[in-house]
Amino acid sequence: MKKLYLRIANEHLDSLRQRLNSVWNHEIALIPISEDAQYYRDAMVCVAFSAFAVEYAISELLWWRALFQTPRKDRPKLIKQVRDTRDMRDRLGLLRRITKLPDSLLREIAELFRLRNRIVHCKVQYSHSMRTVYEVDRESKKIRKVRKFVRGLILPGVSSEFLTDAEWCYMVAERAVDMLEKERDSPEWPIQP
């Protein structure tokens, strides 16, 4: 599955590159933010499926290590630790303890999942602060600038950040999947469950 996820991410990254190629050839890129734009859909699919591939490879490695590479006496403890991981932070902590993966890769994986979570999870923030706003005086039809206490919700949405992050996410995913597979096939690893 991880290879399929990577292929889907790569197809959307290629599509994104083709759509934006003419824009990137200019010194200044003005790209309208539109949730209907295909380039945003391509970027979001690339980011999400890059993360899906890495998540699959992480799960595969953790369970492989617990079931087939751990001495029988230590196996129940590691199986419980793998089973009890609640989120990616827990999984990365466990990987840090039972693999020789470099910290730099684990940090990149954490950032990949932070970007993926911006797409997958809607984290609404409540905002309340003094701001400068513009009001229209209905009688005089004049616009005036006033300072007001404003309350509201900040909803996550599509941003141009995903257009450049998509390529980085795919490169991290490719490298991570490769290194996770090599770690899975490594006969040596520090046993510290």
Task: Please state, as a whole number, how many other Cβ atoms lie within 10 Å of the Cβ of residue 80.
Answer: 11
In a domain, 52, yes or no: yes
Question: In which band, very low, low, confident or very high, does the pLDDT at 116 lie, cut at 50, 70 and 90?
Answer: very high
Pairing of strands 143-154, 125-136: antiparallel
Please count the structural domains in the chain: 1
User: Which pLDDT belongs to residue 193?
Assistant: 46
Q: Does some domain include residue 143?
A: no
What percentage of the chain carries pLDDT values higher than 70?
78
Q: What is the pTM of this model?
A: 0.78
Query: Any idea what the CATH number is for the domain that residue 33 is in?
Result: 1.20.120
**pLDDT confidence of residue 16:** 86
Task: Note whether residue 150 is domain-resident.
Answer: no
Which residues span the domain enclosing 44? 2-121+158-184
Q: How far apart are CA 151 and CA 127, in angstroms?
A: 6
CA angle 91, 158, 124 (to 5 degrees): 65
Q: Is residue 60 part of a domain?
A: yes
Contact in structure between 172 and 108 (CB atoms under 8 Å)? yes
C-alpha triplet 20, 23, 27: angle, nearest 5°: 140
Work out the mean pLDDT of the chain and round it to a whole number. Answer: 84
Residue 44 lies in a domain: yes
Q: Residue 102, SS3?
A: coil
Q: Is residue 134 part of a domain?
A: no
d(CA 169, CA 61): 20
pLDDT level of residue 178 (50, 70, 90 thresholds): very high
Would 62 be classed as within a structural domain? yes
Q: Is residue 189 in a domain? A: no
| CA 102, 103, 106, 108 torsion-angle sign | negative
Q: Partners of 148 in the beta sheet?
A: 131
